[in-house]
Amino acid sequence: MQSESGSRPALVVGLTGGIASGKTAVSNRFAALGVPVIDTDELAREVVAPGSDGLAAVRERFGAQVIDARGELDRRALRERIFKDETARRDLEAITHPRIRARVALRLGEVDAPYAIVVVPLLVEAGWADSYDRILVVDAEPSRQRQRLMARDDVDRAQADQALASQTQRERRLALADDVIVNDGTPEALDARVETLHQKYRHLAAMTD
Binding residues for ATP are 20-25
Residue 122 main-chain phi, psi, to 5 deg = -105, 40
Q: Residue 130 has what DSSP assignment? A: G
End-to-end CA distance of the chain: 15
The whole-angstrom separation of Cα 3 and Cα 21 is 29
- 3-state DSSP call for residue 73? strand
Question: Which regions of 1-60 does DSSP assign to beta strands (E)?
Answer: 11-17, 37-39
Integer Cα distance of 119 and 86 in angstroms: 24
Check: CB of residue 4 under 8 Å from CB of residue 133.
no
* Paired sense of beta strands 115-119 and 134-139, if any: unpaired
Angstrom distance (rounded) from CA 90 to CA 71: 23
Q: Cite the annotated binding site by residue number.
A: 20-25
- Residue 199 buriedness (CB in 10 A; 0-12 / 13-18 / 19+): exposed
How many whole angstroms separate alpha carbon 7 and alpha carbon 160? 41
